[in-house]
Structure 1
Amino acid sequence: MLYCTVHALGELAVLFPISGAFAVYNSRFIDPVWGFAMGWNYALYWLVTLPLELTAASITLSFWSGARNVNPAAWVVIFYIVVVLINFFGVRGYGEAEFIFSIIKVLAVIGFCILGIIIVTGGVGPQGYLGAHYWYDPGAFNHGFKGLRSTFVTAALSFGGTELVGLTAAETENPRKSPPTAVKQVFWRICLFYMVSLTIVGCPVTYTNDQLLNGSSSSDTNASPFVIAVKNAGIAAVPSIMNPVILIAVLSVGNSSICGFSRTLAALADRGQAPRFLRYIDQAGRPLLAIIFASAVGLLCFIVAAGDDTRTQAFNWMLAISGLSSVMTWASICACHIRFRAAWKHNGYNVSELPFTSQPGVAFFEAYLSFPVVLAFYLAFKLWKRPAFKRIQDIDVTSGRRELDLADILAFERAEQAG
């Protein structure tokens, strides 16, 4: 879904490199009222993401016993100042910071994937060979479709921010080159950072592990599955390495939240759909007043000082708002792309005239239709009947087997030769 959405957005962003693209595209290709609604929906998404991520950072820090003795608000102050200062350096500062954050995250994910494979195959740790044991005991797809559906909001939040490639297209030096390059990298980002890493982390850690967030254990409840996997394998140093990486990832999202919120707010103000003073952009291309406003809203992150129960409730509500907001944004981007293609054809233009064309079109499905069909049948039957994955020791190699009789084979060959 996200792959198709980003390609659709890339096609629009290359042809129309406009700052605050989402609100403008919705007003231009669908309806001005819908553009107003979706513009503020996207602004709301980033508005709650900053305090959400800084709250998550304070939760992650409690993994260390020493950090638990410090007021969470003290850590939030440090993270808040860092994120705000980065955005005052403009899109260049944002890009440089994200470049550094991304290198650290990529190296960490690749390192964990390698370490995860070693743990699963029994190369390290007392657990021995695990393989796909936890995929059938207690099993994948907990609670069937209901469980899959309940994780959708969290998954949507994890994928959120990928659409920023369209939001900042107007601020790039070469809008005809930079957005297509970023769009084409999305496929590999999805495969490496989500599909591969989550498949691997599902092998050494089961969802019933009481060390997970919201588990029943009173200690280490804030450890991530990555940290739990290496800790259970007896590797003492890695958890203290992985948690800083998780903090960097959280700060990266917080950094993106101010960038996304300020640009969207400035675009709405420019169209008269937000207070006019927020439209101000300085000579460096920074929407300064919008950045200040976004930073002020980010002060909601200090709700962490209200106590664990209040912090958890606030975290869950902000998660619900931001997760579903991103899904609505993606759906609206796809609707804009469909409407644009219809208007493009109506005005006598051809798809070949577009500087960048979205790949997942009719030709894409003509070439690869069999894969989603097979996948749909597999998942439907898996969720319906929930059969266990065949283990090597459970494979039947006896029933229906035909025993080879050497005498019969020789007699058959002689008969063939005689004939």
Structure 2
Amino acid sequence: MDAGQEKFSDASSAETGNNNIQFYDPSEESIWTRLGVNFESFKRAPGVTGDRLVVGDLSEAEIEKIKSETPMLQAKMKKRHLTMIAVGGSIGTGLFVGSGSALKIGGPAAILIGWIIMGVMLVNVTQAIGEMSILYPLSGGFYMLANRFLDPGFAFAMGWNYFLQWAVVLPLEITVAGTTVQYWTEKVPIAVWITVFWVVIMIICLFGTLGYAEEEFWASCLKLLIVVMFVFIGIVCGGGPTGGDYDHYIGGTLWHNPGGLANGFQGICAVFVTAAFSFSGTELVGIAASETPDPRATMPGAVKGTFWRITVIYITSLTIIGLLIPWTDERLLGGTSAAASPFVIVLDNAKIPGLNHLVNATICVSVLSIGLSCVYAGSRTLTALAETGYAPRIFTYVDKSSRPLFSVIAVLVFAPIGYVNVVAAGDTVFLWLQAISGLSVLFTWGAICLCHIRFRRAWKVQGHSIEELPFTALGGVWGSWLGLILVFIVLMAQFYVAIWPVGGVSSGNERAQSFFEAYLAAPIILAFWIGGYLWKRTLPWRAHEIDLDTGRKSWLTVEEMRQYRAERKAAPLYVRIYRMLFTN
């Protein structure tokens, strides 16, 4: 027996008659092994992915129940980590850079309409995933929820789609990081910067969940600081330095000339995907729930933080950008370099020295942060796929530092695709990568809303009360229906601009190319769904068939929950207001 197998804890043992199951206790490993910085940390952790020592003869159902109640990955995230992942985790190129191209295509009114609609959708999505993840903090996040509440074949399609979404975003983000650095100098080839950022991401990945969580916490703090600073500067920009574009009051003049809309209704439809891309990653709180010691205490605050991010960070900053930059500004073209960031353009126009460099450095950190999110989300989803038999078993490997090692490597190998940017055909390759990732997040959010609808239906059919739930979504099941309807509307709007793109097309070939560049994710998901059905021959679960017990973390009765809520209601008014806005 090796050293790892000797380290089992009786504290987590489960007994059935004379049967005894003992679980691997990672706390007994050395600090260097838990941090993932020595050779021992790369060895497979016994018991983490189901290879537990089983003594005695348990039924298959009993074994599956015990396995489901033991987290696949170690719970290393703290409350501050989860809160910042929710509040600042997805602030990146979508806001700092992509909003520039959206302003160019749609105008200031279009970006506000697009981001507000996507924001309303996202609030309902995060509320839904919060309700389900607190009750079922499953490794693999929404994929495991879809597998349980919808249909294993559909979950197969959504899981692989979600993995591909993050895998192809990784080289995109690394390339954006390289072009961002070129804001300062173009003497160093972009291939060098791509290599540097790739290596940095790999080094941070060595520290596993804790490395990602700490980097995300501090990066999110920096991003929030910069955005808040930008908002304050933008509000008082009428008193900018002499000689700058904002040394006098300009008000809403740019909404009159050149106007609030750049391309009318087409422009509004065209910005939805950019808005969705900027919000992608918010659903990561559902994946992170299984790696948090107490989701009941940490998830509600993280979910509610989404509302404040949408209102304070996105809507306010985009309103200011629309007031300060005309959509005719040529620097907004492309939206793939640091020079195209509207945040940098505003500070350049204002002639405020130094701050443009600070914002550009923040964009570099943001891109690195999103790159790490790609590895985190993609690897956890791939491991969950392997756990349910929809991916090779090698991806169930989890080492003693709680890294799904081969899944992490599988995502990281996509990074070298970024090197195509150094050749002439690179732009074409990147257009197709963006086509794969463009709509993926919308299908993911729609699936989360559908999961919540089916969960609530099963909960009711099987005789449960809503009062038993430790956390309930703000809009209930109707909020998920609203989110699902908004996803459908946005998909139709994107279909419209895919057929009739802004600027028009001159030939049938161009129309076909425009359609697939905008809608490639749809046939990919359909192909996965058909493949999953042909492979496993599964059908959607009926409400009475859905398993509501395995892996469930809250077994409080209605009376116990009523007593709990009565005690909280007796708290002082200021405490209740704080809880309502920020915590559980």
What TM-score does the superposition give when structure 1 sets the normalisation length? 0.81
Question: Does 2:268 match 1:136?
Answer: no
Alignment match, 2:315: 195
Question: Does 2:445 match 1:330?
Answer: yes
CA distance in 1, matches of 2:282, 2:317: 18
The range that moved more, 13-22 or 139-148, is 139-148
Q: Secondary structure at the match of 2:399?
A: coil
Question: Does 2:119 match 1:2?
Answer: no
Question: Does 2:482 match 1:361?
Answer: no
**Pairing 1:247-326 to 2, within 5 Å after superposition:** 247-307=364-424, 310-326=425-441
Counterpart among 86, 98, 123 of residue 204 in structure 2 = 86
Question: Does 2:27 match 1:27?
Answer: no
Of structures 1 and 2, the one with the larger relative CO (CA 8 A, separation 6+) is 1
CA distance in 1, matches of 2:375, 2:130: 22
Gapped regions of structure 2 (runs ≥ 5):
1-120, 481-485, 487-584
1:138-193 CA deviation, whole Å, 9 max, x = no partner? 22232122111111111111100000000121111112122222111110111122
Go from structure 1 to structure 2 and tell me whether the alpha carbon gap of 1:288 and 1:362 turns closer, same or farther (over 3 Å shift).
closer
CA distance in 2, matches of 1:362, 1:23: 19
Alignment match, 1:36: 156
Question: Does the 8 Å contact 2:277/2:441 carry over to 1?
Answer: yes
Task: State the shift of 1:282 in Å.
Answer: 1.6
Question: Does 2:214 match 1:99?
Answer: no
Question: Does the 8 Å contact 1:39/1:264 carry over to 2?
Answer: yes
Task: State the shift of 1:35 in Å.
Answer: 0.5
1:192-219 CA deviation, whole Å, 9 max, x = no partner? 221111111111111110112428xxxx
Task: State the shift of 1:363 in Å.
Answer: 8.7
Task: State the shift of 1:221 in Å.
Answer: 7.5
Counterpart among 212, 226, 237 of residue 108 in structure 1 = 226
Go from structure 1 to structure 2 and tell me whether the alpha carbon gap of 1:314 and 1:60 turns closer, same or farther (over 3 Å shift).
farther
Counterpart among 18, 24, 47 of residue 138 in structure 2 = 18
Go from structure 1 to structure 2 and tell me whether the alpha carbon gap of 1:334 and 1:359 turns closer, same or farther (over 3 Å shift).
same
Task: State the shift of 1:361 in Å.
Answer: 2.7
What TM-score does the superposition give when structure 2 sets the normalisation length? 0.59
Alignment match, 2:581: none
Go from structure 1 to structure 2 and tell me whether the alpha carbon gap of 1:117 and 1:315 turns closer, same or farther (over 3 Å shift).
farther
Task: State the shift of 1:311 in Å.
Answer: 3.5
Task: State the shift of 1:135 in Å.
Answer: 1.9
1:327-376 CA deviation, whole Å, 9 max, x = no partner? 000000000000000000001101110011101237989xxxxxx9xxxx
CA distance in 2, matches of 1:33, 1:364: 26
Question: Does 2:157 match 1:157?
Answer: no
Q: Secondary structure at the match of 1:70?
A: coil
CA distance in 1, matches of 2:166, 2:194: 18
CA distance in 2, matches of 1:154, 1:315: 15
Q: Secondary structure at the match of 2:366?
A: helix
Question: Does the 8 Å contact 2:137/2:295 carry over to 1?
Answer: yes
Alignment match, 1:170: 290
The letter for the 1-side match of 2:215 is: A
The letter for the 2-side match of 1:314 is: V
Counterpart among 335, 340, 343 of residue 226 in structure 1 = 343
Structure showing greater Rg: 1
CA distance in 2, matches of 1:361, 1:297: 39
CA distance in 2, matches of 1:236, 1:299: 36
Question: Does the 8 Å contact 2:162/2:440 carry over to 1?
Answer: yes
Question: Does the 8 Å contact 1:60/1:223 carry over to 2?
Answer: no
CA distance in 2, matches of 1:364, 1:50: 32
The letter for the 2-side match of 1:264 is: T
Task: State the shift of 1:324 in Å.
Answer: 0.5
CA distance in 2, matches of 1:316, 1:198: 25
Go from structure 1 to structure 2 and tell me whether the alpha carbon gap of 1:318 and 1:140 turns closer, same or farther (over 3 Å shift).
farther
1:210-269 CA deviation, whole Å, 9 max, x = no partner? 112428xxxx88331111111112223221111111111111110100000000000001
CA distance in 1, matches of 2:307, 2:431: 29
CA distance in 2, matches of 1:362, 1:76: 44
Go from structure 1 to structure 2 and tell me whether the alpha carbon gap of 1:37 and 1:126 turns closer, same or farther (over 3 Å shift).
closer
Q: Secondary structure at the match of 1:272?
A: coil
Task: State the shift of 1:136 in Å.
Answer: 2.5
Question: Does the 8 Å contact 2:375/2:411 carry over to 1?
Answer: yes
The letter for the 1-side match of 2:194 is: V
% same residue? 45
Go from structure 1 to structure 2 and tell me whether the alpha carbon gap of 1:139 and 1:328 turns closer, same or farther (over 3 Å shift).
same
Q: Secondary structure at the match of 2:229?
A: helix
Counterpart among 413, 437, 457 of residue 342 in structure 1 = 457
The range that moved more, 169-178 or 331-340, is 169-178
Counterpart among 312, 315, 328 of residue 208 in structure 1 = 328
Aligned residues: 357
The letter for the 1-side match of 2:169 is: T
Question: Does the 8 Å contact 1:59/1:222 carry over to 2?
Answer: no
Task: State the shift of 1:93 in Å.
Answer: 1.1
Gapped regions of structure 1 (runs ≥ 5):
366-371, 373-419
Task: State the shift of 1:126 in Å.
Answer: 4.1
CA distance in 2, matches of 1:112, 1:314: 34
Question: Does 2:172 match 1:71?
Answer: no
Task: State the shift of 1:315 in Å.
Answer: 3.4
Question: Does the 8 Å contact 2:134/2:296 carry over to 1?
Answer: yes
Question: Does the 8 Å contact 2:338/2:360 carry over to 1?
Answer: no
Task: State the shift of 1:122 in Å.
Answer: 4.0
The letter for the 2-side match of 1:278 is: F
CA distance in 2, matches of 1:319, 1:203: 29
The letter for the 1-side match of 2:358 is: I
Question: Does the 8 Å contact 2:131/2:473 carry over to 1?
Answer: yes
1:369-407 CA deviation, whole Å, 9 max, x = no partner? xxx9xxxxxxxxxxxxxxxxxxxxxxxxxxxxxxxxxxx
